[in-house]
Amino acid sequence: MTDGKNRLEGGAQDADERLIAGIRRELDRSCDALDGHTLSRLNRIRHVALARRQSRATRLLLPFGGFVTACVLVLTVTLFMPGSLTESDDPVPPLEDIDILASNDSLDLYEDYEFYEWLASNE
Amino acid sequence: MTHPLTTAGGPSDALHLLGYDGRDGGSPPGSGALEQQRTLERFLAGVERRAYRMARIATSNSDDALDIVQDAMLKLVEKYGDRGEAELGPLFHCILQSRIRDWYRRSSVRNRLRSWLGGEDDEEDALQLVADPAGRSPEEILAARGGIEALEVALTELPLRQQQVFLLRAWEGLDVRDTARAMKCAEGSVKTHYSRALAALRVKLGEHWS
């Protein structure tokens, strides 16, 4: 009795498996038989999707690339351009010269300072 | 079940998109991104026909099916383009099923609105009313054309959830858990939908494939 029931269930299962295999085979065959127009559209859809991913990646990298370029430019200008900060002919006077520039005395006095010092020592 | 992941367009077109022709032999710059692009292309090329057929069976309309596949591919690439190949399948089917459900909802609303605004809209496609010149019944036509036509009719007549669960399980080879995720339902519901779909198909197609 139980054997018979099991055999019946086994047979039904086999039939289902055959049915599923047949359905699968038929669906696969229908994919292979798609018309050229549909295949071409599917191909285009795939390429659009992949191209969009590519352009998105480029768009994400763009600000970073711009930042790096700007940094390199600033560094280049700072280090290598003539008249950059590394040279000593800075138009801003050093702090120790501020007193001289601010005083009311003639600048000639300071230019001939050594002469006046010698004159004073010989008098 | 094996599905050969063949590219339809010969050599990888994604490489050309990236401007790399592979002639220098070594690893190209950014080869990780390139490899991922290749993985994606391989996956999409492998799944596109089956995705189209699933959407076509759900909508009975080629253009709508292509739109659904396009949306699903764009969404997958945009949101999950960096995922590994093993993850892409279940993710893609989640998106595809979501798009199919959206389409189904939209068309239900559209049909309801049409029936409210335009009254009884029972106009049938004129071509469907033309009798077969040989005077055969639909069953005889199906029997004569065999396999795929009978299968399409049988699948189209299934409720959407049964239909898609059956296709995901039997054709795509997704397990119960991934099918449940794709269909946004419980695993128990997947089993119920699947067994009901199988029973209905057994009745309708038994004579063809048993």
The ipTM, to two decimals, is: 0.72
Given a contact cutoff of 8 angstroms between Cβ atoms, the answer to whether B70 and A44 are in contact is: no
Give the number of beta-carbon pairs within 8 Å between A and B.
106
Give me the mean pLDDT over the A56-74 stretch.
67
Spatial distance between the Cα atoms of B100 and B202, rounded to a whole number of angstroms: 25
A38·B52 Cβ contact <8 A: yes
The residue that leads in pLDDT, B147 or A20, is A20
The answer to whether the pTM exceeds 0.90 is: no
The per-residue pLDDT for A114 is 82
Q: How far is B8 from chain A (nearest CA, A)?
A: 7
A44 reaches B (C-beta below 8 A): no
**pLDDT digits over B69-120, tens only?**
999 999 999 999 889 888 999 999 999 999 999 999 999 888 888 888 875 5
**What distances in angstroms separate CA A70 from CA A74, A76, B80, one per listed residue?**
6, 10, 32
Q: Give the least confident one: A117-121, B92-96, B164-168.
A: A117-121
Q: What is the mean pLDDT of residues B158-165?
A: 96
Nearest to A18 among B147, B151, B210 (CB): B210
Q: Do B40 and A50 touch (CB under 8 A)?
A: yes
- A64-73, A87-96, B149-158, B198-207: which has the minimum mean pLDDT? A87-96
CB B50 within 8 A of CB B3: yes
SS3 A82: coil
Q: What percent of chain B has pLDDT over 70?
A: 70
Please answer whether residues B95 and B76 qualify as being in contact, where contact means their C-beta atoms are separated by less than 8 angstroms. yes
Distances, alpha carbon B158 to alpha carbons B13, B65, B171, B194, B201, in Å? 39, 18, 16, 11, 9
Minimal Cβ distance to A43: which of B9, B198, B208: B9
The DSSP secondary-structure symbol of B171 reads: I
Distance CA A71, CA A74 (A): 5
